[in-house]
């Protein structure tokens, strides 16, 4: 039972971690919460579903979903957020919520409201790990998450573009003065964050099904994880996502499944009030 919950938690947590990356990366460069990020998660899963329906093999469908998620994030930034760079934060927030409404309802218009299961070649098989039967797809989710995390670490720390993104998160004006194209950096940030978010949606598609409002709670959880890890801290977001998944899964298993979503919210509040810099963050003096 405990091990079961732990594995469920880790699987959920991987998804939250992937979602959290998108929030945290955007926060890093633009200091704003992209409330439409949950819809990228949903969009990616739907595109994967459709490409598979059209007869594409699984790997192609999954990559198509991920790429379209990245494209969606890129377009979102290019068409809306870019025009609002100087707007008050509140306007950006409402615009993001507006985009979320548009995307959710377009999905409903195109694909309908009924949940559908995304196919996975692994779902039918179980693996025996030390006497425990674990679904192969769960293992697949965990492995993919680990690979993505390593790739992201590599991108952020070893490539020039990744370093530019890091520079932009420290000071975007200074970055421009250094001859880095800030707009390009922002676009890349959105594309990568959204691509990873879409991947999260595709990975859970076979387990939790695909439907137009699937992104709402996943978005909130991913967002909670990004706050837990400390806004803007990518490794922190990954660890926090896993922690959140495990905590939630234990709470659902041992307290009450109805309040499982409340766990994340209580954690979010506790973190905001007690450690607003996140579990792994350092205290930074406020600039006045």
Q: Judged by CB, which is closer to other proteins: 158, or 287?
A: 287
Determine if 246 is a binding residue for other proteins (CB under 8 A). Answer: no
Q: Judged by CB, which is closer to other proteins: 77, or 142?
A: 77
Using CB under 8 A, pick the residue from 116, 153, 176, 261 that binds other proteins: 261
Determine if 176 is a binding residue for other proteins (CB under 8 A). Answer: no
Determine if 254 is a binding residue for other proteins (CB under 8 A). Answer: no
Q: Judged by CB, which is closer to other proteins: 25, or 227?
A: 227
- Residue 124, exposed/middle/buried by CB under 10 A (0-12, 13-18, 19+)? exposed
Determine if 132 is a binding residue for other proteins (CB under 8 A). Answer: no
- Could you tell me the smallest distance in angstroms from the CB atom of residue 20 to other proteins? 13
Q: Judged by CB, which is closer to other proteins: 34, or 135?
A: 34
- Could you tell me the smallest distance in angstroms from the CB atom of residue 227 to other proteins? 6
- Could you tell me the smallest distance in angstroms from the CB atom of residue 156 to other proteins? 23
Using CB under 8 A, pick the residue from 3, 147, 151, 265 that binds other proteins: 265
Determine if 99 is a binding residue for other proteins (CB under 8 A). Answer: yes
Mark 192-221 with x for binding to other proteins (rule: CB under 8 A) and - for no binding.
------------------------x---x-
Q: By CB under 8 A, what part of segment 17-56 binds other proteins?
A: 31-33
Determine if 91 is a binding residue for other proteins (CB under 8 A). Answer: yes
Radius of gyration for the chain, computed over Cα atoms and rounded to the nearest angstrom: 19
Q: Judged by CB, which is closer to other proteins: 47, or 99?
A: 99
Neighbour count for residue 82 (Cβ, 10 Å): 14
Do 219 and 231 meet the contact criterion of CB atoms below 8 Å apart? no
Using CB under 8 A, pick the residue from 1, 55, 258, 284 that binds other proteins: 258
Determine if 255 is a binding residue for other proteins (CB under 8 A). Answer: no
DSSP-assigned states of every residue in the chain: -HHHHHHHHHHHHHHHHHHHHHHHHHHHHH-S--TTHHHHHHHHHHHHHHHHHTT--HHHHHHHHHHHHHHHHHHHHHHTGGGGTTS-HHHHHHHHHHHHHHHHHHHHHHH-SS-BPPP-TTTT-EEEETTEEEEHHHHHHHHHHHHHHHHHHHHHHHSHHHHHHHHHHH-HHHHHHTT--HHHHHHHHHHHHHHHHHHHHHHHHHHH-B-TTHHHHHHHHHHHHHHHT-TT-HHHHHHHHHHHHHHHHHHHHHT-GGGHHHHHHHHHHHHHHH-TT-SSPPP-PPP-
Q: Judged by CB, which is closer to other proteins: 47, or 268?
A: 268
Residue ranges that bind other proteins, judged by CB under 8 A? 31-33, 80, 83-84, 87-95, 97-106, 108-109, 216, 220, 223-224, 227, 256, 258-259, 261-262, 265-266, 268-269, 272-273, 276, 288
């Amino acid at each position: 039972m405990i091990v079961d919950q732990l594995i469920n938690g880790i699987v959920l947590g991987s998804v939250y971690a992937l979602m959290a990356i998108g929030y945290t990366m955007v926060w890093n460069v633009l200091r704003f919460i992209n409330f439409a990020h949950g819809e990228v998660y949903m969009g990616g899963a739907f595109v994967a579903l459709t490409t598979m329906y059209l007869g594409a093999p699984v790997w192609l469908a999954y990559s198509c979903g991920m790429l379209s998620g990245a494209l969606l994030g890129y377009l979102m930034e290019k068409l809306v957020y870019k025009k609002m760079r100087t707007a008050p934060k509140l306007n950006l927030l409402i615009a993001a919520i507006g985009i979320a409404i548009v995307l959710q309802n377009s999905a409903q218009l195109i694909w309908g409201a009924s949940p559908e299961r995304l196919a996975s070649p692994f779902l039918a098989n179980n693996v025996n790990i030390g006497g425990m039967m674990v679904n192969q797809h769960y293992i697949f989710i965990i492995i993919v998450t680990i690979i993505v995390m390593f790739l992201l670490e590599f991108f952020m720390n070893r490539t020039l573009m990744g370093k530019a993104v890091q520079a932009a998160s420290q000071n975007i004006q200074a970055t421009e003065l250094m001859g880095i194209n800030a707009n390009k950096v922002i676009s890349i940030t959105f594309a990568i964050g959204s691509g990873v978010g879409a991947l999260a949606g595709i990975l859970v598609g076979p387990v939790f099904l695909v439907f137009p409002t699937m992104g709402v709670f996943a978005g909130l959880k991913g967002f909670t994880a990004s706050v837990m890890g400390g806004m803007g801290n990518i490794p922190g977001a990954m660890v926090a996502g896993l922690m959140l998944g495990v905590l939630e899964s234990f709470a659902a298993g041992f307290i009450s499944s109805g309040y499982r979503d409340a766990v994340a919210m209580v954690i979010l509040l506790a973190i905001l009030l007690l450690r607003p810099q996140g579990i792994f963050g350092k205290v930074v003096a406020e600039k006045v």
